[in-house]
Structure 1
Amino acid sequence: MKGIIKVLFIALAGALAFSFLHFPVPWLLGSIFTVLISQFIIQGELSWPPILRNIGLIIVGVAIGQQFDLSLFNGMGTLLLYMAALNIGLIAFAVILAIWTAKWTGMSLKTSLTASIPGGLSQFVLFAEEEKDVDLAVVTFFHIIRVVAVVLVIPFIVSGHIVTNGGQPVVFDLWLIPVFILAACSVWIGLKIKLPVAHFLTPVLLVIIIHMCGAEVPHIPVSLLHIAQLLIGAYIGLLLKPDMIRLPKKVLMAGLLNTVALIIVTYGGSLIVKWLLGYSFATSFLSTAPGGLDQMGLLAAAVGADISIVTVFQLFRLLFIFLVVLPLLKMAARKMIKS
């Protein structure tokens, strides 16, 4: 409990400081930054149980479902082609990056591939655990440094494109309580059917279904979204452990260069999406960025990007990783073992 209280105060201090300095998305970025740095300074255990992160994800999931525009699916055929082309191009670049990383650092190609392909932190870590000849520490570091860097850096890149949504009410509507309870209960179904990022995606789908049935879900106050950002930010800040910097210097440098390269490539992809589809820069970049569905959805809600487009693009990538990339990676792993 002491560790949780410490993290709470550290995260709150960071959120307030970033808010005072007028940084973008201060409640998320401030909590991530101060909790991350505090691990290298403060002695004693720092703790943030996943249930607190999950509560934040449920709140954000309800908010995103409430703003989701179903008319997006009218032109889904063309959109699927663009998403497939972008993801095939990104995965191809990640494979090239993995080959270079393996040669430069001396790690196995299997480890490098598992570490370099973006998306699905928990899925790739689980894959690394199942494959005994994959370096779990390296894979975990690469994916965590990417999540932390993407969430910290991208808001500053899109900060000049933030859209304010001043129409949201500040007063908490009591009807939100049964909605949150129902959303929390629905997560059990998402977990049972192995829905990716179930604590985030199940509430999104639940609220969309509620809207399709003709009912309305009250707007979530900005203050509650700030709390959700802090709950998620504190968890992300604790992902990068101090003992991870004990990896070889070349591996640490490769992880950083890998992340920078992927951000640059997806930045180029976002300009193509902006040009072809006419989306705003914030929407295009968050749609193509190498972050997770939940993190990019959260940032989309925070900066006023088109939540529907960002969610669909990131969900497509996640499913692409699940249904195409991971099976191919497992096949390649078996061939590597035989050879």
Structure 2
Amino acid sequence: MLLVFVIALIGALLFSTLSFPIPWLIGPIFSVLVAQFFIKDRLRWPAVLRNTGLVIVGVAIGQQFDFSLFSDFKSLLFFMVIVNVLLFAFCLGIAWVIARSTGLTFKTAVAANVPGGLSQLVLFAEEEGDVHLTAVTYFHIVRVLGVVLLIPFLVSGHVVGGASIPLTWDVWQVGLVILLAAVAVPLGRKLKLPVAHFLTPIIVVIGLKFFGIEAPTMPSDVLHIAQILIGAYIGLLLKPETLRLPLNVLIGGMASMVAMIILTYGTSLLIARYLDLSFATSFLSTAPGGLDQMGLLAAAVKADISVVTVFQLFRLLFIFLCVLPIIKWVYREREESVQQ
């Protein structure tokens, strides 16, 4: 774990020196990913450290949530429905092509191409015994890495905007809010909130704001640490042995990621025009990444975090309340008809 932290810190400092966008997230991802090709079976990074980073980022995003977003919620809802229906129709088309060209089952191809959260879709693949878990994991990791590495350059991102705050009572207040959010996470998990370690802190802080309790700004150094904790975990997800999949599957994962980013680029231009949003906000709102990664990027590039969070949360709910249950139902009906 100490070795991973040192490698992640070196990557963050290197990318910061080179003035890369979001260096404290991208640097650790890149350095830890590369390190695995040279250091075998020694790198460990428990999920609890990633979850700690998610709680901190969730608190920071909750602090920036703007209630005025809901003044024109009908227009927002209309575009959220249209964009997600279009995206999932596109994903089904990609899944059909991937299944035909790689030999994977259509169910595996659908699970691999649905743009939900990485951990949630991998968990779905684990629960379904007839889904190729390694292929699904590879597709989603490639998409996460592609989105996290490419999007900052497309939206001209910079370092996360936190304030350089000395260790005063304000910082201790931030610590208390983080602690409160962390204590509430088990409740969020019990309620089966998607990405509970990230979404629960957002809800907690928004609730405090609703009752007139304003938490002070998150110090930039704390956000940098949180990004290292998350980046190291993402970097360890894609292991060298994962690349032993057949070449057509490896190429399919890359092609799927590129196709979805191109689609996102087109839809984001339309949303930016009709909802009068910045390109960064519309792009991150429709990007095929997870709620946590897109929220973190939104904070980093000064996008409208409220819009990005609502769009990405709607997609997660759409996936887990509509798409995945329909997939399970269709295949259950098919299995019953075959047995009869």
TMscore range, shorter length: over 0.9
* Map of 1:25 onto structure 2: 22
**Structure 2 CA distance for partners of 1:6 and 1:43, relative to 1, 3 Å:** same
How far did residue 335 of structure 1 move?
3.3
How far did residue 165 of structure 1 move?
5.1
Q: Which amino acid aligns with 1:237?
A: G
Distance 1:229 1:213 in 2: 29
RMSD: 1.4
SS at structure 2 position matched to 1:43: coil
Distance 2:58 2:203 in 1: 8
**Structure 2 CA distance for partners of 1:26 and 1:164, relative to 1, 3 Å:** closer
* Map of 1:322 onto structure 2: 320
SS at structure 2 position matched to 1:215: coil
SS at structure 1 position matched to 2:329: helix
* Map of 1:145 onto structure 2: 142
Q: Which amino acid aligns with 2:228?
A: L
Aligned partners of 1:263 and 1:289 also within 8 Å: yes
> TM-score, length-normalised on structure 2?
0.95
Aligned partners of 2:60 and 2:218 also within 8 Å: yes
* Map of 2:270 onto structure 1: 272
How far did residue 171 of structure 1 move?
2.3
Query: Paired residue for 2:47, among 22, 47, 50?
Result: 50
Query: Paired residue for 1:65, among 62, 66, 70?
Result: 62
Aligned runs of 1:254-269 on 2, under 5 Å? 254-269=252-267
* Map of 2:32 onto structure 1: 35
Q: Which amino acid aligns with 1:20?
A: T
Distance 2:122 2:160 in 1: 37
SS at structure 1 position matched to 2:165: coil
SS at structure 1 position matched to 2:237: coil
* Map of 1:196 onto structure 2: 194
How far did residue 106 of structure 1 move?
1.3
Distance 1:267 1:22 in 2: 24
Query: Paired residue for 1:212, among 191, 210, 220?
Result: 210
Aligned runs of 1:241-252 on 2, under 5 Å? 241-252=239-250
How far did residue 241 of structure 1 move?
1.1
Distance 2:40 2:161 in 1: 41
How far did residue 126 of structure 1 move?
2.1
Distance 2:175 2:160 in 1: 26
Distance 1:44 1:138 in 2: 22
Aligned runs of 1:159-174 on 2, under 5 Å? 159=156, 168-172=163-167, 173-174=171-172
Aligned partners of 2:22 and 2:159 also within 8 Å: no
* Map of 2:307 onto structure 1: 309
> TM-score, length-normalised on structure 1?
0.95
Distance 1:272 1:109 in 2: 31
Distance 1:242 1:162 in 2: 30
Q: Which amino acid aligns with 1:170?
A: I
Stretches of structure 1 that go unaligned for 5 or more consecutive residues are none
Distance 2:25 2:79 in 1: 30
Aligned partners of 1:176 and 1:218 also within 8 Å: yes
Q: Which amino acid aligns with 2:165?
A: V
Stretches of structure 2 that go unaligned for 5 or more consecutive residues are none
SS at structure 2 position matched to 1:174: helix
Per-residue CA deviations over 1:58-103 (Å, capped at 9, x if unaligned) read 1111101111001111211221110000000000000000001111
* Map of 1:187 onto structure 2: 185
Aligned partners of 1:12 and 1:230 also within 8 Å: yes
The answer to whether residue 107 in structure 2 is matched with residue 98 in structure 1 is no
Aligned partners of 1:62 and 1:183 also within 8 Å: yes
Aligned runs of 1:227-238 on 2, under 5 Å? 227-238=225-236
Instruction: Tell which deviates more after alignment, 121-130 or 227-236.
Output: 121-130
Instruction: Tell which deviates more after alignment, 285-294 or 131-140.
Output: 131-140
How far did residue 162 of structure 1 move?
5.2
Per-residue CA deviations over 1:219-274 (Å, capped at 9, x if unaligned) read 11111111111110000000101111111010011011011111111111111111
How far did residue 163 of structure 1 move?
9.4
Instruction: Tell which deviates more after alignment, 35-44 or 191-200.
Output: 35-44
**Structure 2 CA distance for partners of 1:86 and 1:125, relative to 1, 3 Å:** same
Instruction: Tell which deviates more after alignment, 120-129 or 297-306.
Output: 120-129
SS at structure 2 position matched to 1:100: helix
- Equivalenced residue count is 334
Distance 1:199 1:94 in 2: 27
**Structure 2 CA distance for partners of 1:203 and 1:164, relative to 1, 3 Å:** closer
SS at structure 2 position matched to 1:238: helix
